[in-house]
C-alpha cells in the first residue's frame, strides 16, 4: 500500500508525486491514459503573471511561484539530464488605443511596487516600439506596446518528460499508466479501478484534471452544483525561423509562444460548449488568423500540429487545493485551468506539507476546498 496515491499524471499530479517522494513517502501515480494525455500535454506553456493592479494574496502567490519555478526547473534538469525548454523571455502586449496605453502606464506604477521579490524587481514597461521589429506587427500596436520581464515559457511535453524522468529515478515511486480510477472510498481508503481492481492508500491526492470533479462526487457528497467543469481549448504549433528567445506575444486572449528548435505555439480558445473535445475546427482557424496578424513571420512557418483538449475549471475559477474538510485522507490538487504550469510546484508543496502536518495550507482564500464548496452552495441547482 503506498503512503500516497496520486490520481492523475499531468503537471499537478507529477509535482505532487515529486514533493511526496522528496518527503520520504512511497508514492503510486495512477493515470487512466498516459502521462500528459490531458490538458498538460498541450502546446502553449506560457508562464504569465496576473496584471499588477489591485494586488492581493492570489497575485502574490503566483508571483512567488513564477520566481521560484526557475530554480525548481534547474534542479529537475540536473537530476534528469533533460531540458524542459524553460526561458524567462518576457511578454509583449500590443496597445491598440490611447486609453489602453493610459491603463498600461498605471499598471507600470503598480508593478514598480508589487513585482519585487527577494531583491528581484520585474518591470512592466510601456514602449513606443517593439524591441524586435515586426514582433508584434506594427499595425497591432497603434499606441505602443507593453513589455513585462516576469513572463516566460516552458515546453509542456518536455516539462512532463523531465518530471517523469525524475520520478523514475526516485526510490519507492511507481507510475502506472492505463489505470482508470472511477471512484474513491475515503472511509476504507481505497480507489476503485474501471477493471474492478482496488488499491489501498494512506492518503490520496486527486489531480486528474477534468476527471477530478467526478472523483470528488464519488466521495458521496452532493453539492447543489457540480464542483467544476471542462473548458475546451484549441491550439496550433508552427515551425520556422523563429528565435526561442523572443518574448511571448499576448493580445486579447491570443497567445504566440516561441519554443526551442524554431517552434512556436499559438492559441487558444475557451469553449464551454462543444461536441468533440479532441477535434479542431474553424475556431482554431480564427486563432491562427489572429496570430498571423500579430506575428506575420508565422505565415512563412510550417503548421505541424493542431491540438484540442479539456482544461479543468473549478466552480470558483481558481485552483481547488488542499485537504477535504470532511475526509482527512483526501486532498484536492486540481482546477488550475490556465495557470497550472506556473504554480503547480508550490501548490503541490503545500498539499504535501498539509498532509504531513495536519495543519491547513497557507493558501489564497479563493484556492481552498471550502471556498469552492461555498461557491457550489451559493449557485442555484
- H or E element at residue 61: helix 57-80
Q: Reduced to 3 states, what is the DSSP secondary structure of residue 31?
A: strand
Q: What is the pLDDT, as a whole number, of residue 158?
A: 98
pLDDT above 70 (res 222): no
Domain boundary among 311, 346, 361: 311
Does 252 share its domain with 240?
yes
Does 332 share its domain with 214?
yes
- H or E element at residue 378: helix 369-378
Q: Is residue 53 part of a domain?
A: no
Q: Which domain holds residue 302?
A: 87-150+230-311
Does 131 share its domain with 183?
no
Does 128 share its domain with 178?
no
3-state secondary structure 100-132: HHHHHHHHHHHHHHHCEECCEECCEEEECCCCE
Q: What is the pLDDT, as a whole number, of residue 223?
A: 72
What is the average pLDDT value for the chain, to the nearest integer? 96
pLDDT digits (tens, 9 = 90+) for 323-377: 999 999 999 999 988 899 999 999 999 999 999 999 988 999 999 999 999 988 8
Domain boundary among 294, 311, 328: 311
pLDDT above 60 (res 193): yes
Q: What is the pLDDT, as a whole number, of residue 166?
A: 98
b vs e for 189-217, b when ≥16 Cβ sit within 10 Å of the residue's Cβ?
bbbbbeeeeebebebbbbbbbbbbbbbbe
Q: Is residue 328 part of a domain?
A: yes
Beta strand 145-148 with 124-127 is antiparallel
Q: What is the mean pLDDT of residues 292-316?
A: 96
Helix, strand, coil percentages in the chain from 3-state DSSP, rounded to 5 = 35, 25, 40
pLDDT above 80 (res 185): yes
Instruction: Look at residues 3, 10, 2 and name the one whose alpha carbon lies nearest to residue 206.
Output: 10
Q: What is the pLDDT, as a whole number, of residue 281?
A: 97
Does 234 share its domain with 146?
yes
Integer Cα distance of 155 and 288 in angstroms:
19
From residue 295, give the alpha-carbon distance in Å to each of 140, 245, 327: 9, 15, 50
Does 138 share its domain with 242?
yes
pLDDT digits (tens, 9 = 90+) for 75-109: 999 999 999 999 999 999 999 999 999 999 999 99
Distance of CA 199 to the CA centre of its chain: 28
Does 236 share its domain with 369?
no
Q: What is the mean pLDDT of residues 194-209?
A: 98
Question: In the numeric block, which cell numbers belong to residue 69?
Answer: 519555478
Integer Cα distance of 17 and 127 in angstroms:
43
CATH of the domain at 126: 3.30.9.10
Residue 233 or residue 222, greater confidence: 233
pLDDT digits (tens, 9 = 90+) for 238-282: 999 999 999 999 999 999 999 999 999 999 999 999 999 999 999
Q: What is the pLDDT, as a whole number, of residue 119?
A: 87
pLDDT above 70 (res 224): no
Amino acid at each position: 500500500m503506498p503512503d500516497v496515491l496520486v490520481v492523475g499524471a499531468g503537471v499537478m499530479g507529477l509535482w505532487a508525486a515529486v514533493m511526496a517522494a522528496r518527503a520520504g513517502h512511497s508514492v503510486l501515480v495512477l493515470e487512466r491514459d498516459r502521462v500528459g494525455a490531458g490538458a498538460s500535454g498541450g502546446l502553449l506553456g506560457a508562464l504569465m503573471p496576473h496584471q499588477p493592479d489591485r494586488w492581493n494574496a492570489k497575485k502574490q502567490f503566483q508571483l512567488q511561484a513564477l520566481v521560484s519555478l526557475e530554480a525548481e526547473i534547474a534542479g529537475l534538469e540536473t537530476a534528469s539530464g533533460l531540458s524542459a525548454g524553460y526561458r524567462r523571455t518576457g511578454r509583449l502586449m500590443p496597445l491598440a488605443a490611447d486609453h489602453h496605453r493610459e491603463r498600461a502606464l498605471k499598471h507600470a506604477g503598480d508593478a514598480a511596487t508589487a513585482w519585487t521579490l527577494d531583491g528581484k524587481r520585474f518591470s512592466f514597461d510601456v514602449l513606443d516600439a517593439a524591441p524586435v521589429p515586426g514582433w508584434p506587427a506594427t499595425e497591432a500596436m497603434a499606441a505602443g506596446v507593453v513589455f513585462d520581464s516576469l513572463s516566460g515559457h516552458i515546453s509542456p511535453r518536455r516539462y512532463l518528460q523531465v518530471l517523469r524522468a525524475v520520478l523514475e529515478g526516485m526510490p519507492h515511486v511507481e507510475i502506472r499508466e492505463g489505470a482508470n480510477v472511477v471512484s474513491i472510498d475515503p472511509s476504507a481508503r481505497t480507489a476503485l479501478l474501471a477493471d474492478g481492481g482496488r488499491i489501498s492508500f494512506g492518503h490520496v491526492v486527486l489531480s486528474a484534471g477534468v476527471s477530478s470533479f467526478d472523483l470528488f462526487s464519488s466521495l458521496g457528497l452532493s453539492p447543489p452544483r457540480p464542483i467544476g467543469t471542462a473548458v475546451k481549448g484549441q491550439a496550433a504549433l508552427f515551425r520556422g525561423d523563429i528565435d526561442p528567445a523572443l518574448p511571448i506575444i499576448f493580445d486579447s486572449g491570443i497567445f504566440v509562444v516561441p519554443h526551442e528548435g524554431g517552434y512556436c505555439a499559438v492559441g487558444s480558445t475557451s469553449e464551454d460548449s462543444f461536441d468533440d473535445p479532441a477535434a479542431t475546427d474553424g475556431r482554431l482557424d480564427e486563432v491562427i488568423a489572429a496570430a498571423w496578424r500579430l506575428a506575420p513571420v508565422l505565415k512563412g512557418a510550417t503548421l505541424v500540429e493542431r491540438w484540442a483538449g479539456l482544461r479543468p475549471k473549478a466552480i470558483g475559477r481558481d485552483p481547488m487545493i488542499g485537504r477535504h474538510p470532511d475526509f482527512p485522507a483526501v486532498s484536492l490538487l486540481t482546477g488550475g485551468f490556465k495557470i497550472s504550469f506556473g504554480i503547480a510546484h508550490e501548490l503541490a508543496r503545500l498539499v504535501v506539507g498539509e498532509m504531513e502536518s495536519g495543519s491547513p495550507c497557507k493558501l489564497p482564500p479563493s484556492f481552498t476546498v471550502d471556498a469552492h464548496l461555498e461557491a457550489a452552495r451559493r449557485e442555484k441547482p
